[in-house]
Amino acid sequence: MEIFGSTFDDSVFSEARDRVCVCLSSYSAKVCEPEWFCDNAALDTDDSLEKQKVFKFRGDLAVRQGDYQKAYEAYSSCLEWIADNNLTIRRDVLEGMARCCTKLGQKDRALDLAHLLSKEASNTCHLSSLLLLKVSIYQHFGAVGSKMSSLQQLCSLLPFNPWHWFSLGQMCLQLSESAGEQTDRETEETQEEAEELNEDRVWLKACTCFIRTRLLLRILQQQQASFVLQRSENALQTTEDVLQRLNPKETTVQTLTEVMSEDLVPEKMREDYQDGESLASVHVQSFRERWWNKILLIGLLKTDGRQRQADMES
């Protein structure tokens, strides 16, 4: 049974009809020297597209060399020459600028650029890229609650992607193992986010995420081979090891498995997993609405939390 868009449309393999043969005139390929765009002469043109390319390449090279201030300046110059209808390059450059600001320690500017990207997001690809950008920004500046919120949004937007669940689970695991060691850097977090960083909540959320990861990886393994399958197997083994360390009660594991597998049916997965779908037609339930409230309603937080406390005291 194929899911996740792994099937092909038969028309891809059909032969073209009435194909017209066109004889091309002689063509001489343009030959460029290595790093030709670093030469000032590369800007001696009235072609806005050529100037855009020069500044974009300069920015990319500077990022590779670790010179983020130089990269930011090049990307800023590139932005001036991007055509209004070239949204792909514009988004790429804005994201590059945001990542440079992050490396330079300019949190507010990085988030402002991320906000610009959010205004122009028109499909789930755009939104998932934006959320991944926010995760990297929040991680760099130690905003734990905001990072967790962005990862939860990723899991809600793409609920059948095991790697987002795996990342959220790893974060919760780190928080659970370092409970009580958070410093004043968390003062920016909201009251609601602070509550979500409660030790028992983080522990239970870690269990939830890794159980969901395990369920998804087992489904995906049926369609994988080679190094892709090896990656999934490695992640699955890590997941199993982590769950042993978290040591939830068997009843907790069974209940969480039931809750987190309710939507894992092939028909629903084919319908919902449409990466690149227009945001106008996407309704994304929050992490709390879709999963967390069910878990809290069952009472796992209270019952397993008391058991964990008793185990620690004994």
Please give, one letter per residue, the 3-state secondary structure of the chain.
CCCCCCCCCHHHHCCCCCCCCCCCCCCCCCCCCCCHHHCHHHHCCCCHHHHHHHHHHHHHHHHHHCCHHHHHHHHHHHHCCCCCCCHHHHHHHHHHHHHHHHHCCCHHHHHHHHHHHHHHCCEHHHHHHHHHHHHHHHHHCCCHHHHHHHHHHHHHHCCCCHHHHHHHHHHHHHHHHCCCCCCHHHHHCCHHHHHHCCHHHHHHHHHHHHHHHHHHHHHHHHHCCHHHHHHHHHHHHHHHHHHHHHCCCHHHHHHHHHHHCCCCCHHHHHHHCCCCCEHHHCCCCCHHHHHHHHHHHHCHHHHHHHHHHHHHHC
Q: What is the pLDDT of residue 298?
A: 84
* 183 domain residue, yes or no: no
Domains: count for the chain: 1
Q: Is residue 280 part of a domain?
A: yes
In a domain, 79, yes or no: no
Residue 265 domain-assigned? yes
In a domain, 77, yes or no: no
**227 domain-assigned:** yes
Question: Residue 184: what pLDDT?
Answer: 42
The pLDDT, as a whole number, for residue 183 is 42
Question: Is 300 domain-assigned?
Answer: yes
For residue 270, what are the domain limits?
A: 162-178+194-314
pLDDT of residue 185: 45
Give a yes or no: residue 94 inside a domain.
no
In the chain, which stretches have pLDDT less than 50?
Answer: 1, 183-187, 310-314
pLDDT number for residue 14: 58
